[in-house]
Amino acid sequence: MKITDLKCAVIGKNPVVRITTDQGIDGYGEVEATKYYLKPYVLFYRDYIVGEDPTDVEAVMLKIRRLGAFKPWGSAVSAIEIALWDIAGKAAGLPVYKLLGGKVRNKVRVYNGGVRFPMNGHAPGDYAEAMGKMKEAKEGFTIIKQAIGFHSQMLNAVPGFSYGEVRPRAGHHNPSRGLLTEKGLNHIVACVQAMKEVLGDEVGLALDCGPGMVVPDAIRLARAVEKLNLMWLEDMITGDYIPYVSADLYRDVTNSTSTPIHTGEQIYLRQNFQELIEKRAVRIIGPDPEDVGGIAELKWIAEYADMHGVLIAPHGVFDGLIGLAAQVQVGAAMPDNFIAFEYPIGSPQWWYDLIEGLPDPIVKNGFIDVWDKPGLGVSFNRDAAKKYLQDEDSGFFD
């Protein structure tokens, strides 16, 4: 089998990768919705992989893996890798999890990142109200993640929140960084306490905190919420689109508290997790399969982390429905240090009309049942999808 083409179409906001072969088997991957501009970078790799055997996934990846980088640029490489596994599974007549070592769980836990409700403000009561709605959501989430601090609008909503300059947010990027005032720190803690009062010990609470916190504030916050038994504090110092790791700084925080510290969504490739894992700089890592280099890369990192006593809760809120399928496949084969992956939703809503093969409902009591169809186990309703193709992508399914 040989690769005959690599195509990319932006459907909604998600760049979608399609790899075609001389045997009529194709495979799909997806780039996060926040990276709608990456189509040209995906197509850059076409000449590197055309003519290769797509079922030799590692051999193909060796040709392009070194040409990626930290978020956002690793997304293109990651989407291609996922599409290759889709082809390999279809060619073998097996679900991808079988090719990754086989499943060790029949259902995969998800944590809520994508199911959101509008908030009226950023006071403790507003956060409590939002938690109540998410706790009652039909998905029955057992873990909910909420943005606070530098990852939220608290900087703008709470006067005197930080000693640093508040710079405007651009999309999903969070450029502000600085020292919290005592008022700002107390506000965060009060909001966390309000959320936990709603969730109790029935639903775990994780917090997306930055990036942007300085080490002393990260330690103060982590210690202040120790009695609340949070799932984790995420990306306090680095994260998002920051192209470095700062493992030593995270280790200072981790060694100062019993609250689990989490980072990693922006990191590309196993080598860039090495220091975090070997120094046990965090208790939990959160690679995103659509940024880290793909699903096999994610599983390799998970296995290495498990050897060092580090847990894993993969990021994925913007991964889309093809990304959701990829998360389920690799989640089924993850080692026992796996907690849950971040549940992505189809956006816009019409994406649910385009993808066939997902269970209905997708999430039951906080879990997704693992399916056994070949490849990623999902496919496009091409007639429905063609209506949303831009003119320049009209031949995407040809």
Establish if 292 belongs to a structural domain.
yes
pLDDT band at 19; cut points 50, 70, 90? very high
Establish if 38 belongs to a structural domain.
yes
C-alpha angle with apex 203: 210 to 368, nearest 5 degrees? 90
pLDDT per position as a tens digit, 60-90? 999 999 999 999 999 999 999 999 999 999 9
User: Is the pTM of the predicted complex or chain greater than 0.75?
Assistant: yes
pLDDT band at 164; cut points 50, 70, 90? confident
- Residue 55 sits at φ, ψ, to 5 deg, of -80, -15
Same domain, 83 and 103: no
CATH code, domain with 294: 3.20.20.120
Same domain, 86 and 25: yes
Same domain, 68 and 143: no
Establish if 60 belongs to a structural domain.
yes
Same domain, 112 and 197: yes
Same domain, 169 and 216: yes
Domain around 12 = 3-94+381-393
Same domain, 55 and 199: no
Establish if 398 belongs to a structural domain.
no
CATH code, domain with 15: 3.30.390.10
Same domain, 47 and 133: no
Q: How far apart are CA 148 and CA 129, in angstroms?
A: 15
pLDDT at 169 over 90: no
pLDDT per position as a tens digit, 243-257? 999 999 999 999 999
Establish if 227 belongs to a structural domain.
yes
pLDDT per position as a tens digit, 197-240? 999 999 999 999 999 999 999 999 999 999 999 999 999 999 99
Same domain, 72 and 133: no
pLDDT per position as a tens digit, 106-128? 999 999 999 999 999 999 999 99
Same domain, 77 and 153: no
6 neighbors 49 (Cβ within 8 angstroms): yes
Q: Quote the number of domains for the chain.
A: 2
Instruction: Give the chain's mean pLDDT.
Output: 96
Same domain, 86 and 225: no
Residue 235 has a pLDDT of: 98
Residue 176 has a pLDDT of: 81
Establish if 290 belongs to a structural domain.
yes
Same domain, 297 and 366: yes
pLDDT per position as a tens digit, 307-352? 999 999 999 999 999 999 999 999 999 999 999 999 999 999 999 9
Residue 166 has a pLDDT of: 73
Same domain, 88 and 109: no
C-alpha angle with apex 241: 179 to 396, nearest 5 degrees? 155
Residue 50 has a pLDDT of: 98
